[in-house]
Amino acid sequence: MKNFLRELSRDTPGMIGFVIVIIVLALSVFASVIAPADPLEIDVYNRLASPSWQHWLGTDQLGRDIFSRVLYGGRVALKVALISISVALLCGLLLGMIAGFGPSWLDRILVVCFDTMRSFPTVMFALAIMTLTGPSLNTVIAVIIITSIPVYARVVRTQTLAVRNLDFILAERAMGASTLRILRDHILPNISAPLLILASMDVPAVVGMEAGLSFLGLGVGPPTASWGSILNDGYSYLRNSPWPIIAGGIPLILVTLGFTFLGESMRDILDPKLRGKGALNQ
Amino acid sequence: MKEVLAVRDMQVRYPTSGGLAALMAGKRATSIDVVCGVSFAVAPGDTLAIVGESGSGKTTLAMGLSGLVPVSGGDVVLDGNAVAMNSKGFLQPDRRRISVMLQDPVGSLSPRMTVQRLLAEPFRIDPELADDPDAAALRLLDRVGLSREFAGRYPHQLSGGQARRVGLARALAQKPGLLIADEPTAGLDVSIQGEMLNLLAEVQRDMGLGIIMITHNLNIVRHAATDMAIMYLGRFIEQGLPQRIFERPRHPYTAALLAANPSVNPATAIDRIQLLGEVPSLFERPRGCEFHTRCPRAQDVCLERFPQRQGVANTQVWNCVNPVD
């Protein structure tokens, strides 16, 4: 970890990304402390106000404080991202390792399933699910999980296939190590670096997806604040005030940039190390 | 003395997955024999050296014995008991009696584990072997002559010789009766090769190990082996005592192989025997004696059937109708 931070500090975009990520995380976690106002409090006399000392980013069409809404929206965005990515990562890990290490008939069945899942356009799939269950935050999370599992599983499968016939796995098998031990102690540590990178690069995609679904009215319902719903509300009143759109868009851009920079920097740091260790390229 | 391992007519057959195209072409066999009809016995304290070109099936033989590839036929007797074989090769309790050191010293160690963990691993796989895996790991480290400071290192921080020692320590953990060492000296410089061989000999003496050593290096065979076998296309074509074979090889292939071994003494007249052509493909195993396509002494009968074994058992035997004299 110390090494990682030292390497990171040498890479300017990576460091910027890291700082942005930390700030966004802190602002979201401590939203209730930092927020100057209740994000749901309506003040119709102050509709669509421009930024002032009282309302740092102005107010929306119902007079709610946009800065507070952005902070609470960050909570929603990160909650969706963390829950859905970690669940998808775990499921993808399990399925991918089964496909990569198990018998070839099982591998073929799983690969067909992954490819079938990937062939649905995400938004169409989301629309279909929302039509069945009605929009809610949990549905958004479920849709993202279902559409991300195949992505992770395929990466895990490829990595597992690359590792499974290396000599050290043979050596473990010759000693009589169980399949579980081989997967847990020998394959998992050797495939986890690319997965961490993929997961970190996936955060902005998921945040964007949540915002997109909320913008389309398929995500969190009113009055809950989400960056997508702030954008959606602002879009309707764009002629009256540009502030809601600006306030909803900037955090999206920052999160996207932050996690992408961090992910790319992680890739650069972890990959050459892997090569130096001779783990996968022998 | 009673043998650790006796093998008769061992076969390893790989199915070829040619798919539809191969099926329609109809030419290729559905399986290839990588090891066919190999017999030998190893007693405690013995070292059987197996030599042969790349692709002759040496490593496959080792993997078959250690249960990594299925053995498709033959009788295996381990410690005097016939081993029941299923389609997957050996059953687990028998496998522990046979340890294997794979060819690539660094590559056969799990790259994200420290030496300490690597050495404790066999005791965690098999908790009956030691009460305290970590203490047992350190004892192993001492056993193979590595200092304790290596315990915290990762495989990529080890030299080839050090990684070999760690591999040997791991192989010894399960207290095997037979150790299969695949190219134990490959990639090491000569002084380290000597140290490695001495260590092997020391361990062999202390533990009463039988060793099967797979090697390209004929000088090592001369130095370390008590038995040797020359492998060609999955068969032992000559086997026996090294001093006898080195002195008077009978099979033309052995003769060519020994003649190709460089000598340290520049004054020695080198009488190379040049073999023509390449090793035949396992997919198109020649009829009769497999070596007839390249043999300078081939006769018509060589094309018809594989020659009978000749010679004196346990001393020197060969499969050739027209041996070198």
- Domains of chain A, by residue range, sit at 2-281
Residues of chain A with Cβ-Cβ distance to B154 below 8 Å are 277
- Local structure of A172: helix, strand or coil: helix
B80 and B12, same structural domain? yes
Judge whether A33 and A64 are in contact, CB under 8 Å. Answer: no
**Fold category of A2-281 in CATH:** MetI-like fold (1.10.3720)
B32 and B154, same structural domain? no
In the predicted structure, residue B4 carries a pLDDT above the cut 60 = yes
In the predicted structure, residue B117 carries a pLDDT above the cut 60 = yes
Residue A257 CB neighbours (<10 A)? 16
CA pair distance B297, B321, nearest whole angstrom: 9
Which is nearest to B290 in space by CA: B272, B299, B273, B303? B303
B257 and B110, same structural domain? no
Between residues A4 and B306, the one the model is more confident about: B306
Instruction: Tell me how many domains chain B contains.
Output: 2
Using the 3D structure, point to which of B230, B259, B275 is the last residue of a domain.
B275
Chain A residue closest in CA terms to B117: A185
Average pLDDT over every residue of A123-134: 84
CA pair distance B252, A12, nearest whole angstrom: 68
pLDDT digit string, tens, across residues A78-111: 888 889 999 999 999 999 999 999 888 899 999 9
Between residues B265 and B164, the one the model is more confident about: B164
Residues of chain A with Cβ-Cβ distance to B125 below 8 Å are 175-178, 181
Q: What's the confidence (pLDDT) of residue A99? A: 92
Average pLDDT over every residue of B132-136: 89
Judge whether B137 and B151 are in contact, CB under 8 Å. Answer: yes
Judge whether A260 and A245 are in contact, CB under 8 Å. Answer: no
CA pair distance A65, A57, nearest whole angstrom: 7
Residue B141 belongs to a domain: yes
Strand B210-215, strand B47-52: pairing: parallel
B86 and B184, same structural domain? yes
B69 touches chain A (CB under 8 A): no
Disruptive mutation site among A105, A159, A164, A167 for chain B (greatest number of B CBs within 10 Å): A167
In the predicted structure, residue A280 carries a pLDDT above the cut 50 = no
The mean pLDDT of chain B is: 84
- Local structure of B263: helix, strand or coil: coil
Residue B66 belongs to a domain: yes
Residue A181 CB neighbours (<10 A)? 16
Judge whether B289 and B312 are in contact, CB under 8 Å. Answer: no
Using the 3D structure, point to which of B147, B175, B203 is the last residue of a domain.
B175
B249 and B187, same structural domain? yes
Q: What's the confidence (pLDDT) of residue B87? A: 58
B190 and B115, same structural domain? no
- Local structure of B118: helix, strand or coil: helix
B220 and B89, same structural domain? yes
Considering only the beta carbons, identify the residue of B103, B112, B174 that sits closest to A190. Answer: B112
Listed by number, the residues of chain A in 68-107 with a beta carbon closer than 8 Å to a beta carbon of chain B are none
Task: Flag if A178 and B125 touch (Cβ within 8 Å).
Answer: yes
Distances in whole angstroms, Cα of residue B101 to Cα of each of A172, B44, B146: 11, 18, 17
Residue B86 belongs to a domain: yes
CA pair distance B184, B101, nearest whole angstrom: 8
Residue B189 is part of which domain span? 5-19+28-97+177-275
Judge whether B46 and B205 are in contact, CB under 8 Å. Answer: no
φ and ψ at residue B85, rounded to 5 degrees: -115, 135
Task: Flag if B156 and A277 touch (Cβ within 8 Å).
Answer: yes
Q: What's the confidence (pLDDT) of residue A70? A: 84
B262 and B216, same structural domain? yes
B236 and B113, same structural domain? no
B186 and B66, same structural domain? yes
CA pair distance A46, A59, nearest whole angstrom: 7
Q: Is residue B227 very low, low, confident or very high in pLDDT (cuts 50, 70, 90)?
A: very high
Ramachandran area for residue A106 (φ above 0: left; ψ -120 to 50: alpha; else beta): alpha
Rounded percentage of chain A residues whose pLDDT exceeds 90: 13
* CA-based end-to-end distance of chain A: 26
B87 and B41, same structural domain? yes
Task: Flag if B106 and A176 touch (Cβ within 8 Å).
Answer: no
B133 touches chain A (CB under 8 A): no
B123 and B252, same structural domain? no
Residue B82 belongs to a domain: yes
Sole residue written with tokens 């190219």: B183
Residue B162 belongs to a domain: yes
Using the 3D structure, point to which of B175, B210, B226 is the last residue of a domain.
B175
Burial code (b: 16+ CB inside 10 Å, e: under 16) for B153-168 equals bbbeebebbbbbbbbb
CA pair distance A252, A204, nearest whole angstrom: 8
**Residue B245: CATH number of its domain:** 3.40.50.300
Residues of chain B with Cβ-Cβ distance to A166 below 8 Å are 107
